[in-house]
Amino acid sequence: MEEFLRHYGLWALYLGMWIEGETVLVLTGFLIHQDLMESWLAYPVALFGALSVDSVVFGAGRWSHGSRFVQGLIGQRGAAVKERRLGWPAFFGVRFLYGTRTPYIFYAGTRRLSWSSFFVKDVAAAAFWALVWLSCGHLLGRVLVLVRGEMAHHERLLVAAGIVVAGSLLCGFIGWRALRRKATAAASDGGGEGQP
Residue 74: pLDDT over 70 = no
- Please tell me the distance from the alpha carbon of residue 106 to that of residue 135, in angstroms, as a whole number: 28
Beta carbons of 137 and 29 less than 8 angstroms apart: yes
> What are the distances in angstroms from CA 156 to CA 8, 147, 159, 161, 163?
40, 15, 5, 9, 11
What count of Cα atoms within 13 Å lies in the side-chain half-sphere of residue 131?
7
Letter for the amino acid at 103? P
Alpha-helical regions (H) of the chain: 2-16, 21-33, 39-63, 68-74, 79-85, 88-96, 101-110, 115-153, 155-193
Q: Which of 5-19, 45-59, 105-119 has the lowest mean pLDDT?
A: 5-19
Over residues 132-187, the pLDDT tens digits come to: 999 998 888 888 777 666 555 566 666 667 777 887 888 888 888 888 888 888 87
Letter for the amino acid at 145? V
